[in-house]
A and B are shown apart, each in its own frame.
Chain A
Amino acid sequence: MASTQALKLRIRSVKNTRQITKAMQLVAASKMRRSQEATKASAPYTLAARQLLTALSGRASVKDHPLFVQRPVKSRLLIVIASDKGLAGAYNSNVLRLFTQELASDAKANIRTTTITVGKKASQFVARLKSADMLGLYDELPDRPDGKQLRAILDNARQLFEAGTVDAVDVIYTDFVSSISQEAKVQRVLPAGFEPAAEAGVAKDVLYEPSVDAVLSGVAYRLVGAQLFQALLDSRASEHSMRMMAMKNATDNASDLVDDLTLAMNKARQAAITQELAEISGGVEALNE
C-alpha cells in the first residue's frame, strides 16, 4: 500500500496539470471561435474572382493562360501546412502522415517532389527526412494571416510553376469541416482549376484595361491566392479546435486520475487507522493475559 503522503503529493501534481490543461483548453476555444469566423471571410473574394473569370473566359482563352496550363506532371511542389506548436492532438501527425504518403506515391510514379513548409512542426519533420527536398519554410505565421504572408508563399509557387520547374502545385492542409470534424486533405492549386460561376454579374461589352490578358493574369493570380489563403485559414481553425479537444480530454483524464488517487489515498488512510486499532487492541489483549 502506497503511503498516504506520496499519494497526497501525486494528487497535488495532477491537479496542477489539470489547471494548466484547462487553461489551454479555454485559450484554444476562444481562438477557435475567432478563426472559425475568419474562415468564412474570404468567400466573397473567391466568388468575385470566379465571376470575373467567367466573364473573361468569353473574351480570352483561359485554358492557355500560363497559370492554367495542364502539363504531364514530372515534378511537383507540395505546400505542407502544419502548426508551430504541438499539443494539438493528431493535428500535425495527420498532415505529416498524408505528406509521407504523397511522397511515397510520387517516388513510385517517378515524380520529383519539392516541398515548402508552413509551421515549425512541418519544417522540423521535413528537415529530418532524407528523401525530401525542402525549398522554403514559413514559420510563425501570425494567428490571423493576411495578404503579406500569403503573397510570400504564393509568389514562390507561381514562379516555379510558370518557369516550368514544377508541373503542379498541391497544398496539404487540414480542412475545417466543423468544430468537431477536421480532415487532412491534398488540394491542387496550380494549374488553376476553373468552374464558371452561375451568374457572371459582369456586363458583356466591357472594356479591359490595360488589356484582356493583363486583367486575366490579375484575376487568375487572385483566384489562386484566395484558394491558398483559404487553406491557411482552414488549417488555423482546425489546429485550434483540435487543440481544444485534446486539452479537454487531458483535463477529463486528469479529473479521473484525481478521483482514483483520492480513493486510493482514503483507502490507505483507513487501512492505516484499522491497523493501528488492531495493534492497540492486540496490545491490550496481551496485557490482560
Chain B
Amino acid sequence: MHLQLITLRGIRLDREMYELMVPTADGEIAVFPGHEPLVTLAVPGALTVRYDKKDPDDKLEYFAISGGVVEINPDAIRVLVDEADLGADISEAEVKAALKRAEKLRDEAKDQVELEHAKELIDRHEVRLRVADLQRRRRSR
C-alpha cells in the first residue's frame, strides 16, 4: 500500500510499503494493506515502517514524529505531522545536548507559558532519542 508522510517542510516519504506502526491517542496501532478506512490522531513517538513483506526487523525504518493526523484507506495511508526525523539521521550526541538545554530552560522558566514550551521541547527530544536508540539497536543486531 502507498504511504505518504507529509510534514510542514514538505513530503518526507511517498512510496509503497507493507506495514506501518503509528502511536495514536489510544495506543500503538499496526496497519497492513486492506485496513478499513480510519482517521485518527497520532501522538509524539516512533513511527515504524516496513517497506517490504519479506523485510526482516533490522530493515525497519523509524521516524520520530510530533503529533498529527493519520488517514488510512485500504490501499493508501497519509500521515500528516508537523515534524518527522528519520532515526538514522538523528545524532544522539546532538539530541542529548539539546535535551540538556531544554531541561535548563525548564528549570529557569519564568512563567507557565515558558514552562509548557520547555516541557514540550523535552518531550520532543526524548522521543527523538528513543527513536535513534531503536534504530541503532536494530542495526547492530
Contact = CB atoms under 8 A, between A and B. Distances in A.
Q: Do A and B come from one complex?
A: yes
Given A202-B71, A222-B69, A48 B82 contact: no
A214 B41 contact: yes
Interface string B51-63: 0000000000000
Contacts of A210: 25-26, 40-41
Contacts of A148: 83, 120-121, 124
A207 B39 contact: yes
B6 interface: yes
A150 interface: yes
Contacts of A225: 8, 82
Given A45-B6, A218-B69, A147 B37 contact: no
B108 interface: no
A146 B38 contact: no
Contacts of A146: 8-9, 82-83
B68 A207 contact: no
Interface string B1-44: 00010111111000000000000111000000000111111000
A215 interface: yes
B36 A219 contact: no
Given A202-B71, A222-B80, A225-B82, A41 B10 contact: yes
A206 B8 contact: no
B66 interface: yes
A215 B73 contact: no
B130 interface: no
A42 B120 contact: no
Nearest to A203: B37
B39 A48 contact: no
Contacts of B36: 207
A156 interface: yes
A155 B67 CA distance: 14
Contacts of B11: 44
Nearest to B116: A155
Interface residue tally of chain A, by bracket? Answer: 35 or more
Nearest to A202: B71
A85 interface: no
A141 to B, nearest CB: 14
B72 to A, nearest CB: 9
A52 interface: yes
B93 interface: no
Contacts of B24: 209
Interface centre among A45, A150, A205 (most CB of B within 10 A): A45
B30 to A, nearest CB: 14
B117 A147 contact: no
A207 B6 contact: no
A215 B40 contact: yes
A206 B38 contact: yes
A49 B82 CA distance: 12
10 contacts: A42-B9, A48-B6, A49-B80, A148-B124, A207-B38, A208-B38, A209-B24, A215-B69, A219-B69, A222-B82
Interface of B: 4, 6-11, 24-26, 36-41, 66-69, 71, 73, 78, 80, 82-83, 113, 116-117, 120-121, 124
Given A41-B10, A146-B82, 15 more contacts: A41-B8, A42-B9, A45-B8, A49-B69, A49-B80, A56-B39, A146-B83, A147-B82, A147-B83, A148-B120, A202-B39, A202-B73, A207-B38, A209-B24, A209-B38
